[in-house]
A = this chain, B = another copy of it.
Amino acid sequence: MVRPGGRSARVQASVHAAVRELSAEVGRDALTVPMIAQRAGVTPSTVYRRWGDLQELLSDVAVEHLRPETEPADHGTLPADLSAWTEQFLEEMSSPAGRSYIRDALLGDPDGSNAGQCSAYAAEQIDLILNRAHERGEETPDTETVIDRIVAPLLYRILFRPHELDAPYAHRLVRTLLERSAP
């Protein structure tokens, strides 16, 4: 496995950095392993040995992009928090960049651990929002329900029907979830 410090860590960091730089410069579709290796100052065989192929490498990098960098803002009520989070989630995920990160994360992932990580990120954020609401004394649905009713439909549309997706639709999901689960 990857040793925690030293050379291995440096190689990993510089390869990831090379992927980010090059995908900004020449576009994600033009990336090749030799190109990335050269930019990272590493030989191609190192990349092949560590990651197997380009897709697994891109999957690793994509997961890092998909990690939320801040915790969800507190707007004082569950509907407000959930709406705001949903809106931000939609914005990040449905952009062309977001879609390709999701696809990369899913596709170069034989054992499903990267995809599971993405799902865990969303679940954490939702947990936070629901716990906050619970402490305020609000009635809340549980995390799984929020995932089924909001996250899953959004991602389904992002992946399978990119054209039928907008902010009003996302708000409708939040509204119908909350009006029935806590009437």
Which residues of A approach B to under 8 Å, CB–CB?
29, 103, 106-107, 110, 112, 115-116, 118-119, 147-149, 151-153, 155-157, 159-163, 173, 180
Contact = CB atoms under 8 A, between A and B. Distances in A.
A126 B149 CA distance: 19
Given A106-B103, A106-B107, A107-B103, A156 B160 contact: no
Nearest to A100: B110
A168 to B, nearest CB: 13
A62 to B, nearest CB: 13
Determine how many copies of this chain the complex contains: 2
A160 B107 contact: no
The secondary structure that dominates the A interface is: helix
Contact of A115 (B119, B149, B159): B159
Nearest to A164: B144
- In the complex, which of the residues A103, A149, A155, A156 has the most CB atoms of chain B within 10 Å of its own CB atom? A156
A147 B112 CA distance: 24
Given A148-B153, A148-B173, A180-B180, A160 B119 contact: yes
